[in-house]
């Protein structure tokens, strides 16, 4: 006798399960579930003619936060041996067992992306793989905001999680065509609002699933949630993708409004692109690049501007200091006062060239305040030692604290010439590569504050000599140099 299993929810929705065929269920009209905490791909059910054989696979959102059930009871079958509500509870219990099993890392790692949709969290990378994503070595990469979607409200930033629409009607058929040609379609997006607490992960996940539901296409989504190796234009997301591919045979990237286009780059396009990060992402990888207008609408390539600093062109053979005939250290007691942006290379320079010669090291990041720095310098001078002051010291007032102490002892200034953009790049590099030298995290506001306060040092302040210390990149291994030579911000 042939048997059939029917899923019946407490709100009256009925879903037939075909024997031996997996069915993906979640939020949607079929189940009458509208709670946004519930995924559109909440669980996979498989009927083998008996409810006890049902299985479930779901994404990594904790089941206690899903809230997917209905609120109304259905008492029509109250006299039956097993009511519809009781059957549903049995299936929910089985689903919970499946979810508990899936919570272990070893099980998550083996979830087949081709059979079910699921989320993964890898450090600061969020990864969503929709059911049916092809395993292909041909990659077509896209950003999401400004490339696949735009706001319905017309505002620059969305006013609510539902404030979005597909950017062009040509997008869905063009993506479908790529899939038919054997491409794997991947979305790469920066979502630093998650690490800053401005965007809840579950809200972002729900939005992604809604976008893919609208497109009705199997797509993989990579989202960088914090600064560092995964944030575009750095290529961490791309490298993670390529780890799963034996050999990349073909690929190209498209962007959003992050192509470095100036104001008035096209008729009716008065605003310039907010950055160049997506174009630089493609440039770092070495892939062909198009804007959405070029790819989906057939527009001609627009003018664009690259950042002022090109890390690929930084000279590792440049002379370290000027004048070149000067001496970095002295045989007699002295004080060296550093001047330079946070991230201009001061600490590495002192630890490499000065401290090994016996100089007392004064550093505010270590000592905590300029008062402690002044006291430490004074103590070392009384002991007859030379002193190296490794602080930013942007103005005459901050430098005077040490010049005035060195009465009778020569005081030299080492002015580190790295630019503001170079300092920003160096600080971003620190976030990607571990260092033996401890650095306090520095944001752009601190760097800009230094620039505002900066007054070029002069001999009139009491310095016996001023050396210009150039930033010359040096690397102990190839991976570090590879990352340093990439554009890290658009």
Is residue 103 domain-resident? no
Is residue 384 domain-resident? yes
In a shared domain, residues 9 and 153: no
Helix (H, G, I), strand (E, B) or coil at 15: strand
Q: 36: exposed, middle or buried (C-beta count within 10 Å: 0-12, 13-18, 19+)? A: middle
Q: Contact 445/453 with Cβ under 8 angstroms?
A: no
Strand order in the sheet with 360-362: 321-322, 465-469, 411-416, 335-339, 387-389, 360-362
What is residue 434's predicted lDDT score, i.e. its pLDDT?
Answer: 64
In a shared domain, residues 393 and 470: yes
In a shared domain, residues 168 and 283: yes
121 strand-pairing partners:
126
Half-sphere exposure of 399 (CA within 13 A, CB side): 28
Length of the chain: 490
In a shared domain, residues 127 and 243: yes
Measured CA to CA, the distance from residue 135 to residue 114 in angstroms comes to: 8
What is residue 96's predicted lDDT score, i.e. its pLDDT?
Answer: 42
What is residue 477's predicted lDDT score, i.e. its pLDDT?
Answer: 86
Measured CA to CA, the distance from residue 369 to residue 466 in angstroms comes to: 25
Measured CA angle at 52 (ends 50, 58), to 5 deg: 110
Q: Contact 17/31 with Cβ under 8 angstroms?
A: no
In a shared domain, residues 216 and 336: no
In a shared domain, residues 147 and 272: yes
Half-sphere exposure of 312 (CA within 13 A, CB side): 9
Is residue 110 domain-resident? no
Q: Among residues 199, 9, 41, 47, which one has the least CA distance to residue 118? A: 41
Count of domains for the chain:
3
Q: What is the pLDDT along the chain (490 residues), one digit of tens a residue?
A: 445 667 776 666 666 665 545 555 676 656 667 665 566 555 555 444 433 333 333 333 333 333 333 333 333 333 333 444 454 444 444 444 433 443 344 333 333 445 689 999 999 999 999 999 998 889 999 999 999 999 999 898 899 999 999 999 999 999 999 999 999 999 999 999 999 999 999 999 999 999 999 999 999 999 999 988 999 999 999 999 988 776 566 676 766 667 677 777 777 776 777 678 888 998 899 888 999 999 999 988 888 888 888 898 888 888 899 999 999 999 999 999 999 999 999 999 999 999 999 999 999 889 889 999 999 999 999 999 999 999 999 999 999 999 988 778 999 999 999 999 999 999 888 888 766 566 667 788 889 999 999 999 999 999 999 999 999 988 888 888 989 998 888 5
In a shared domain, residues 134 and 277: yes
In a shared domain, residues 278 and 398: no
**Domain range spanning residue 380?**
321-485
CATH code at position 184: 3.40.50.1000
Helix (H, G, I), strand (E, B) or coil at 96: helix
Strands (E), 219-308: 220-224, 250-254, 288-290
What is residue 107's predicted lDDT score, i.e. its pLDDT?
Answer: 35
DSSP per-residue string spanning 386-421? -EEE-S---SHHHHHHHHGGGTTS-EEEEEE---HH
Q: Among residues 61, 19, 232, which one has the least CA distance to residue 145? A: 232
Q: 316: exposed, middle or buried (C-beta count within 10 Å: 0-12, 13-18, 19+)? A: exposed
What is residue 303's predicted lDDT score, i.e. its pLDDT?
Answer: 81
In a shared domain, residues 291 and 365: no
420 strand-pairing partners:
none
In a shared domain, residues 125 and 265: yes
In a shared domain, residues 293 and 381: no
In a shared domain, residues 284 and 347: no
Is residue 125 domain-resident? yes
């Amino acid at each position: 006798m042939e048997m059939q299993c029917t899923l019946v929810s407490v709100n009256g929705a009925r879903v037939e399960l075909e024997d031996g065929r997996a069915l993906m269920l979640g939020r949607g009209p079929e189940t009458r579930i509208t709670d946004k905490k519930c995924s559109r791909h909440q669980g996979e059910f498989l009927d083998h003619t008996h409810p006890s054989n049902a299985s479930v696979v779901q994404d990594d959102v904790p089941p206690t936060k899903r809230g997917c059930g209905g609120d109304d009871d259905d008492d029509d079958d109250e006299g039956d041996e097993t009511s519809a509500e009781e059957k549903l509870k049995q299936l929910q219990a089985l689903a919970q067992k499946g979810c508990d099993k899936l919570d272990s890392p070893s099980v998550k790692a083996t979830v087949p992306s081709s059979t079910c949709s699921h989320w993964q969290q890898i450090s600061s990378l969020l990864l969503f793989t929709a059911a049916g994503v092809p395993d292909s070595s041909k990659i077509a990469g896209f950003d999401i905001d400004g490339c696949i979607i735009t706001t319905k409200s017309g505002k620059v930033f969305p006013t609510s999680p539902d404030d979005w629409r597909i950017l062009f009607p040509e997008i869905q058929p063009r993506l479908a065509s790529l899939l038919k040609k054997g491409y794997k379609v991947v979305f790469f997006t920066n979502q630093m609002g998650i690490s800053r607490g401005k965007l809840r992960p579950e809200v972002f996940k729900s939005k992604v699933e809604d976008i893919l539901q609208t497109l009705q296409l199997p797509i993989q989504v990579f989202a960088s949630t914090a600064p560092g190796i995964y944030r575009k234009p750095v290529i961490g997301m791309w490298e993670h993708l390529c780890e799963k591919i034996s050999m990349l045979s073909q690929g190209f990237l498209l962007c959003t409004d992050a192509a470095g286009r100036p104001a008035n780059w096209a008729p009716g396009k008065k605003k310039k692109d907010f950055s160049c990060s997506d174009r630089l992402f493609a440039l770092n990888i070495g892939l062909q690049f198009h804007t959405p207008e070029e790819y989906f609408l057939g527009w001609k390539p627009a003018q664009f501007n690259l950042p002022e600093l090109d890390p690929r062109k930084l000279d590792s053979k440049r002379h370290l200091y000027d004048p070149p005939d000067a001496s970095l250290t002295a045989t007699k007691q002295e004080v060296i006062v550093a001047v330079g942006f946070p991230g201009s290379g001061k600490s590495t320079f002192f630890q490499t060239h000065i401290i090994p010669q016996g100089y007392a090291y004064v550093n505010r990041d270590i000592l905590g305040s300029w008062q402690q720095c002044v006291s430490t310098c004074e103590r070392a001078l009384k002991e007859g030692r030379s002193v190296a002051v490794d602080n930013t010291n942007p103005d005459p007032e901050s430098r005077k604290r040490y010049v005035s102490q060195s009465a009778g002892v020569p005081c030299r200034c080492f002015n580190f010439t790295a630019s503001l953009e170079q300092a920003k790049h160096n600080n971003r590099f620190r976030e990607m590569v571990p260092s033996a030298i401890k650095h306090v995290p520095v944001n752009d506001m601190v760097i800009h504050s230094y620039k505002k306060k900066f007054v070029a040092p002069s001999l009139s302040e009491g310095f016996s000599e001023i050396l210009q210390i150039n930033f010359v990149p040096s690397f102990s291994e190839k991976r570090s140099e590879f990352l340093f030579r990439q554009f890290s911000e658009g």
